[in-house]
Chains A and B, each alone.
Chain A
């Protein structure tokens, strides 16, 4: 199984809503990532979890709150978002070891904030 599964695929939320994005992998990877991709732009790193600990936060606003409940799951909790937060949110995973491999990406969640 070389898949990273993200749910939901599409999400429309109001600025006062609270929602969560979910990401799951069963490859035994120990590093998991959230990337944000605006239309016609490259993905930009938001957060990295390494061995279930937050290791990188790229100065992301607090209205985005990541969580890694276990080594297979990664969540992104959303609260009080702005319309400019509308984007494709991509989850990825890597082995997390010194042996470097490619990152496996999920299909993403297309988020629209209204």
Chain B
């Protein structure tokens, strides 16, 4: 069965610090998709990034960067120069494609608190 592990339950940093959120996944599929979502206190899940299993290029988007390593089954997320607005719960997720629909398997989430 597919599984996503986010070992860090809670992280607290001071503004402007860099922080890395870890994600390790398990799957027997050769084709799969990995995602990161942000969930602020308001509740909605905000999409941050999608990566397919054939694309191991790391990605940078502003202060966010992602490191995908198939050899270690990891898909880590780094926030550079963190800001208070980054405070949220961050979920890593793995997609199980089932025909035209997809089932997202989420990790337990990492609650990030950025203090001023």
Contact = CB atoms under 8 A, between A and B. Distances in A.
Interface of A: 30-31, 33, 35, 41-45, 48-51, 55-56, 88, 90, 92, 94, 96-98, 100-108, 110
A82 B83 CA distance: 40
B113 to A, nearest CB: 14
Contact of A41 (B37, B97, B108): B108
Contacts of A101: 50
A56 B44 contact: no
B33 A42 contact: no
Nearest to B109: A42
3 cross-chain pairs, A with B, having the tightest CB-CB distances, nearest first:
A42-B106, A105-B45, A31-B101
Contact of B100 (A43, A88, A97, A103): A97
A7 B106 CA distance: 24
A2 to B, nearest CB: 10
A33 B93 CA distance: 15
Contact of B44 (A30, A55, A106): A106
Contacts of B109: 42
B43 A107 contact: yes
Given A42-B108, A55-B101, A56-B101, 4 more contacts: A43-B45, A45-B104, A55-B98, A103-B35
A47 B45 CA distance: 17
B35 to A, nearest CB: 6
B97 A56 contact: no
Interface in B47-86: 47, 50, 52
B104 A56 contact: no
Given A55-B101, A100-B52, A110 B43 contact: yes
A94 B102 contact: yes
21 contacts: A30-B100, A31-B102, A33-B101, A42-B108, A43-B45, A44-B106, A48-B103, A50-B101, A88-B43, A90-B43, A90-B44, A94-B101, A97-B100, A98-B100, A100-B50, A100-B52, A101-B50, A103-B35, A103-B45, A105-B44, A107-B43
